[in-house]
C-alpha cells in the first residue's frame, strides 16, 4: 500500500510541474516596469487605471454587421492604445524594463494593444 502512495505522490508532483511550467514567464514575453517607490499592488492599480484610460475600439475588415434585432454596428474588438497607455504609465512614474524590472505583469493580465 505504501508503494501506491509514493507513486501517486510522484505522479502528482510531475503533473503539477508540467502544468506550472506552462504558466512560467519566459524572457521573450516578460513585461516588467520599474518605479522608485510603488508596491506590486499599487503598480497593478495604476496599470489598471491606465488600461481603462487607453482602451479603444479597433475595427476589423468588415465595416458593419447586423445583429438579430436589425441593429448594425462596427465589427471589431476592444484593445489598448499602446502610445496612450505608455504615456499614462510614464506620467505615474513607471519606466518599462522588461529585462530586469521588479514590477512584473502576470502573463494572465497581458492585454492586446495597438499603435
Query: For residue 17, is it within any domain?
Result: no
Question: 13 lies in a domain?
Answer: no
Supply the pLDDT for residue 70.
Answer: 59
43-58: burial string, b at 16+ Cβ within 10 Å, e else? beebbeebbeebeeee
Write down the pLDDT at residue 115.
76
**Can you say how many angstroms the Cα of residue 97 is from the centroid of all Cα atoms in its chain?**
16
Q: How many domains does the chain have?
A: 1
Q: Grid coordinates representing 3?
A: 508503494
34 inside domain: yes
Grid cell 521588479 is found at: 102
Let me know if residue 48 belongs to a domain: yes
| Local structure of 15: helix, strand or coil | helix
- 8 Å CB contact between 52 and 111: no
User: Has residue 41 been placed in a domain?
Assistant: yes
Inside any domain, residue 10: no
* Residue-number span of the structural domain to which 105 is assigned: 29-114
Evaluated on CA atoms 83, 84, 86, 87, the torsion sign reads positive
pLDDT tens-digit profile, the chain (115 residues): 454 444 554 444 444 443 444 444 445 689 999 999 999 999 999 999 999 999 987 776 655 555 566 565 566 778 899 999 999 999 999 999 999 999 999 999 998 888 7
Contact 54, 81 (CB under 8 A): yes
pTM over 0.75: no
Cell numbers placing 65: 454587421
**Is there a domain that residue 45 lies in?**
yes
Instruction: Specify whether the CB–CB gap between 75 and 63 falls below 8 A.
Output: yes
Answer whether residue 14 is part of any domain.
Answer: no
Amino acid at each position: 500500500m505504501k508503494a501506491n502512495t509514493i507513486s501517486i505522490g510522484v505522479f502528482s508532483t510531475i503533473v503539477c510541474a508540467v502544468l506550472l511550467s506552462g504558466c512560467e514567464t519566459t524572457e521573450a514575453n516578460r513585461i516588467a516596469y520599474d518605479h522608485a517607490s510603488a508596491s506590486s499592488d499599487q503598480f497593478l492599480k495604476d496599470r489598471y487605471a491606465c488600461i481603462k484610460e487607453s482602451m479603444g475600439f479597433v475595427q476589423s475588415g468588415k465595416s458593419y454587421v447586423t445583429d438579430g434585432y436589425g441593429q448594425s454596428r462596427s465589427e471589431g474588438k476592444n484593445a489598448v492604445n499602446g502610445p496612450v497607455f505608455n504615456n499614462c504609465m510614464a506620467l505615474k512614474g513607471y519606466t518599462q524594463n522588461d529585462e530586469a524590472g521588479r514590477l512584473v505583469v502576470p502573463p494572465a493580465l497581458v492585454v492586446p494593444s495597438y499603435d
